[in-house]
Chain A
């Protein structure tokens, strides 16, 4: 009996304890959501404002921070889809962007993974010198490289190339140091044991890379892909220097086509084209995050 009551009270206790935890959890999730929503408003407001502003008239755009337009107009969108002498319009420009960005993302992922694997996992002659050199390529601002790079691509005959060679080819050779460095750092969190196991199973280094390391790096690889997609889509200077036929302009260039500071221009049109041009980045991020957040089971170590 005594044992029984003791048991009962213990159960009771745990019942109360659980309820308390539950309530505590409820309160903490309310707090969490409140914080998330308040901060979220600060983060999304510019986008909402931008959406609103695409329906405003010029004079209202600078009038204040309100989202709802006073005199809504579709002019911005009507002008946004207009084409320039039939050569280029926003849809074609978006298509051009993808023609640059998609190969670039793929090439970057492959080349950066190989390089990061080489630097992160092996010792070899010259690594002690080459690694710091690689990191230091981050340190020089692009502006001062533009001139010699242009001279170089010009000698290679790539300027104005319809295949966007100057924009795409470097990514085949892991020229974006940010991604190599990132993958190297992520590799540090992957324990050696898995690769040892793969080796014992008879995998060679390449198979180990593909079957063991790449799945472990998935979250990092997805981030690389997202960033490369976003940065390359936004890149304006590259296309300006190396693309010089209207039919080949990407969206980042197209968006700015109408912005003549002398004659003035319609802001709603500019904002509408910018909005259309960033939608792919937003959608891709929304879809991709599942992949990298839920994609691998806890730590993946079980694999």
Chain B
């Protein structure tokens, strides 16, 4: 599957198209009603989205939008109960996994094809829309943005070591040695938690064996191949490229951005979502510079990256909504209408809607760092992420990833047994 960004055609034509569309939507008749709209996020997202909602209400007098917002923690639990008992908001910001978890019968999220005359679905790549389809083939939501993992390097530390930031696995390995010799045992060019390790290992395996790790609802790698991946990760640990999980546990930080060793540049690299750099940049102590790295192409022989991407979040309409048409108008306003798009900017990542992207690029309002990270990820991306990859049985705090990668670092078992565990865990999760 090819996932390169298509921005090939003239911005002016996109503008014209969206303007015309905005116009028809405004002219279209709608019912006066009250809609509920719920999302999670942080400060700036709350503020911007409320502005956009107010502008929407101004543009379409008679439609009143009530909002509900909060932080991610426990947000999912509360919404789960709402979806289950039919009290959910009309429009919801959704996580990709919700489609599988909540909507397996297709009765929680409205099939957006039914409102396609209001919501302009042509603004999205068919491939990305496909990712939002539930098991019954209905379109459960629209993808607001795509995301994937990319390296970020603390350039200041690499400068201290007299190195350029690595652009390949070979350079990274070399950096591990230099760091240890020049800067000390505490310094590592890269720090990876359990899930980060799984992602890097997946890059490695997908690039080397040139196939996706999960496909058609099954594990697409053999136990031996998985063991090769685990050996690869453990070799990084042995070569002083990454600190062991024991070391990271000992640091007792809730996440890397709260880890003083990252804050002070001792852990000089991370593998994070393209949407996340601000969090890490603001965490670094003064004077340190975080730069976006290149995806590696030397995991295997044929220059593959093994990189995969996923829908970071979407908008969906609940089947219980009494005003699906007006709800669709709201989504369209937020995703495609130049007016709404300009307000929303890149608060939910670099927008996937072509109209939105064009408007923001034109206005120069894309965050340069996020835009750089995003374009690197999207350019390198070879596979879509399968939702089960992040299922709780695998990614959760008692999940397989934590068990396997932690167990290897704590020396509880070898990679042969680890590969067996990982394989079985993934098979179980697929059968779910």
Contact = CB atoms under 8 A, between A and B. Distances in A.
Given A59-B286, A85-B46, A146-B81, A262 B273 contact: yes
B45 A263 contact: yes
B278 A84 contact: no
**Of residues A60, A87, A263, A264, which shows the largest number of chain B Cβ atoms within 10 Å of its Cβ?**
A263
Contacts of B259: 62
B50 interface: yes
B345 to A, nearest CB: 13
A159 B84 CA distance: 13
A122 B354 CA distance: 74
Interface string B59-96: 00000001111111111011001001101010000000
Contacts of A263: 41-42, 44-45, 275-276, 278-279
A257 B45 contact: no
A261 interface: yes
A257 B43 contact: yes
Interface string A260-293: 1111111001000000000000000000000000
Contacts of B46: 84-85, 257-258
Contact of B263 (A63, A79, A84, A259): A63
A257 B70 contact: yes
Interface string A145-182: 01100110010000110000000000000000000000
B71 A246 contact: no
B36 to A, nearest CB: 8
Interface stretch (A101-109, A130-138, A184-192, A235-243): A235-243
Contacts of A229: none
B272 to A, nearest CB: 10
Given A62-B253, A84-B47, A244-B68, A260 B85 contact: no
A58 B273 contact: no
A261 B66 contact: no
Nearest to B81: A150
A81 B51 CA distance: 19
Contact of A147 (B40, B74, B81, B273): B81
A150 to B, nearest CB: 5
Nearest to B53: A85
B81 to A, nearest CB: 5
Contacts of B311: none
Interface residues of B, number: 49
B70 A253 contact: yes
**Of residues A237, A258, A266, which shows the largest number of chain B Cβ atoms within 10 Å of its Cβ?**
A258
Contact of B85 (A59, A150, A245): A150
Nearest to A63: B260
A245 B89 CA distance: 11
Contacts of A265: 42-43, 279
A262 B81 contact: no
Contacts of A253: 70
B50 A85 contact: yes
Interface in B384-413: none
Contacts of A151: 85
Nearest to B253: A62
B424 interface: no
A23 interface: no
Nearest to A254: B70
A262 B68 contact: no
A240 B70 contact: yes
Contacts of A236: 74
B278 A240 contact: no
Contacts of A62: 253, 258-260, 263
Nearest to B276: A262
Interface string B272-285: 01011011101111
B221 interface: no
A24 interface: no
A19 interface: no
Nearest to B347: A263
A260 B71 contact: yes
B40 A260 contact: yes
B260 to A, nearest CB: 5
A241 B283 contact: no
A158 to B, nearest CB: 11
Contacts of B75: 240
B298 interface: no
A127 interface: no
A291 to B, nearest CB: 36
B268 to A, nearest CB: 15
Contact of A245 (B47, B51, B68, B273): B68
Contacts of A159: 87
Contacts of A240: 70, 74-75, 77-78
A256 interface: yes
Nearest to B54: A85
A171 to B, nearest CB: 21
A87 to B, nearest CB: 7
B38 interface: yes
Contacts of A241: 78, 81
A84 B51 CA distance: 10
A63 B77 CA distance: 33
Contacts of B89: 244
Q: Which 7 A-B pairs have the closest CB atoms?
A: A264-B279, A260-B42, A85-B50, A259-B71, A244-B68, A59-B285, A258-B43
29 contacts: A59-B286, A62-B258, A62-B260, A62-B263, A63-B264, A84-B69, A85-B54, A87-B50, A147-B81, A147-B84, A240-B74, A240-B75, A240-B77, A244-B38, A244-B89, A245-B68, A256-B71, A256-B73, A257-B43, A257-B71, A258-B42, A258-B43, A261-B73, A261-B255, A263-B276, A263-B278, A263-B279, A264-B276, A266-B282
Interface of B: 36, 38, 40-47, 50-51, 54, 66-75, 77-78, 81, 84-85, 87, 89, 253, 255, 257-260, 263-264, 273, 275-276, 278-280, 282-286
Given A244-B68, A260-B72, 19 more contacts: A59-B285, A87-B67, A146-B77, A160-B87, A236-B74, A240-B75, A241-B78, A256-B73, A257-B43, A257-B69, A259-B72, A260-B40, A260-B45, A261-B71, A263-B44, A263-B276, A264-B279, A264-B283, A265-B279
